[in-house]
Amino acid sequence: MALLRANVTASKSRGHNVALLRTFHKSGYRAPGCAPTVNGSLRIVAAAIRRATSDKDCGVSKVNGQRPSPAASPDAVRLPDPVQDDRVFRSRSGFRPAIRQPLHRNSQPLLLRFTIAFPAMKKTASTMTLKPIVLLARDRLQKRWLKLTEIAMNRGLIPGHRDYVRFIILARGRVGSNLLSSYLNSHPGIVVKGEIFGAKQLRKAGPAAENDPEAHMNSVAFSVYPHAVAAVGFKLFYYHASRATQKACQIWPILLSDKNVKIIHLTRENILRTHLSHVIATKTLKWTQAGPINAVATAEKLTRLGFEECENAFIKTERWQNRTEEMFRDHPMHHVTYEQLTSEPEGALTKIQKFLGVEPRALASFHTKQNTESLRQLIQNYDELKSAFASTPWSRFFEE
């Protein structure tokens, strides 16, 4: 569904979504009267698009009771018709695509955010395991829907705006930035992009991104969005763009000079946990987890840490954090920790939503904690390491 005119059941990104939806299908969940098959789930998206688009969508909706012909609209945007009467489809399905359209402009309904309401399920061991998978499926579909609306706005089919709060999530890796991003992305008025200035992302974007980082930022993150979107941000790590070209590094002074950009500074109190998480993720190649997806056995995580590598990680991380506080001291800044997000998420997320100027609401994330074991269970030489750091300022990291 990456292309507006494409067959929603076959696109470049279909492989990932197919694997995701098949996992969802294998989990054993069945909505009343409708098994969540891959094509069935994509039909839900197509049906929602057909209902939400207007007469300017040339080929999707009817104009004066008839569909425009391809000859009359050479650039017509057409979607397949997998469900002749989507009302019948909705009545048979436990899934309910909802298009919220509270705003109108020149009598033109606006495409906002695509959400799926899942049937209520009793809280059992199996449904609690399934919940992250359900949230992951919803998150992926929402992102595809948002991409679809972006394409439509760039073609002039849907009005959009740039008058929203801009922010960045400033952090280092393994402190819960994926967790926070997924929480915020579940809010219909917030969009959070990924690590757009990470080394991998810059290589994928090509030389143009490094030669003009500001244009890259405005194109990938601070672009045109539906009017319901009130805050847009992206993830930026302390070391992003540092190994790129000299032009790419200019993104830092660009952000520093714009005092309107809000900063969410995300840290983790226990830096030992941060470093250990990085070592385990590098070892297992599992960087995220959603319920049973990507879960790793404790035996595979067990690792040995050296005193010097831990000390260097502690010093470097604290230096990054202090430098960030100093650099962006003139910006609106909100500091939140990983521990707050996991121990009291409702309170922490409410404060962040107020900081971004959106109406607070209950948020959800498909991410689950990867390393739930104690430090002693994950570090082979835990006692040795704890003794070595006993007389240092970092001895508190070993108190659990």
pLDDT of 4 over the 50 cut: no
Tell me which DSSP letter residue 248 carries: G
pLDDT at 137: 81
- The answer on 176 and 133 residing in a single domain is no
- The answer on 41 and 113 residing in a single domain is yes
Domain-embedded: residue 159 = no
Contact 242, 249 (CB under 8 A): yes
Domain-embedded: residue 60 = yes
- The answer on 50 and 193 residing in a single domain is no
Contact 150, 341 (CB under 8 A): no
Q: Tell me which of 32 and 46 has the higher pLDDT.
A: 46
Q: Tokens for 210?
A: 């490094």
pLDDT at 129: 59
Mean per-residue pLDDT of the chain: 76
Single out the residue in 90, 119, 154 at which a domain terminates: 154
| Residue numbers of the domain that contains 387 | 165-398
- The answer on 50 and 188 residing in a single domain is no
**Residue 368 dihedral angles phi and psi, to the nearest 5°:** -125, 155
Domain-embedded: residue 245 = yes
Q: Tell me which of 119 and 199 has the higher pLDDT.
A: 199
Q: Tell me which of 32 and 340 has the higher pLDDT.
A: 340
- The answer on 185 and 94 residing in a single domain is no
pLDDT at 373: 96
Instruction: Give the model's confidence band at 122: pLDDT under 50 very low, under 70 low, under 90 confident, else very high.
Output: low
Q: Give the mean pLDDT of 279-300.
A: 91
pLDDT at 334: 98
Instruction: Quickly tell me which residue has 């929402």 as its tokens.
Output: 142
Using CA atoms, how far apart are residues 28 and 25, in angstroms rounded to an integer? 6
Domain-embedded: residue 104 = yes
Domain-embedded: residue 310 = yes
Instruction: Give the model's confidence band at 23: pLDDT under 50 very low, under 70 low, under 90 confident, else very high.
Output: very low
Instruction: Give the model's confidence band at 228: pLDDT under 50 very low, under 70 low, under 90 confident, else very high.
Output: very high
Per-residue CA distances from 227 to 48, 95, 108, 349 (Å): 19, 25, 12, 23
pLDDT at 230: 97
- The answer on 178 and 127 residing in a single domain is no
Q: Is 165 helix (H, G, I), strand (E, B) or coil?
A: strand
- The answer on 169 and 220 residing in a single domain is yes
pLDDT at 297: 94
pLDDT of 143 over the 60 cut: yes
pLDDT in tens, 58-83: 333 333 444 444 333 333 333 333 33
- The answer on 174 and 135 residing in a single domain is no
- The answer on 171 and 264 residing in a single domain is yes
Tell me which DSSP letter residue 63 carries: B
Evaluate if pTM is beyond 0.75: no
Q: Give the mean pLDDT of 26-35.
A: 38
Euclidean distance between the first and the last CA atom of the chain, given in angstroms as a whole number: 46
Among the residue ranges 96-110, 274-288, 354-368, 383-397, the one predicted with the least confidence is 96-110
What is the β-pairing status of strands 333-337 and 262-267? Answer: parallel
Please tell me the total count of domains within the chain: 2
Single out the residue in 154, 175, 209 at which a domain terminates: 154
Domain-embedded: residue 249 = yes
Amino acid sitting at position 218: N
Domain-embedded: residue 297 = yes
Per-residue CA distances from 73 to 258, 260, 291, 358, 366 (Å): 43, 42, 46, 39, 41
Domain-embedded: residue 326 = yes
pLDDT of 20 over the 70 cut: no
pLDDT at 150: 80
Q: Give the mean pLDDT of 189-216.
A: 94
- The answer on 108 and 181 residing in a single domain is no
Single out the residue in 154, 173, 195 at which a domain terminates: 154
pLDDT at 133: 77
Specify the CATH number for the domain of residue 171. Answer: 3.40.50.300
pLDDT in tens, 337-383: 999 999 999 999 999 999 999 999 999 999 999 999 999 999 999 99
- The answer on 196 and 49 residing in a single domain is no
- The answer on 195 and 118 residing in a single domain is no
Q: Tell me which of 182 and 88 has the higher pLDDT.
A: 182
pLDDT of 27 over the 70 cut: no
Tell me which DSSP letter residue 66 carries: B
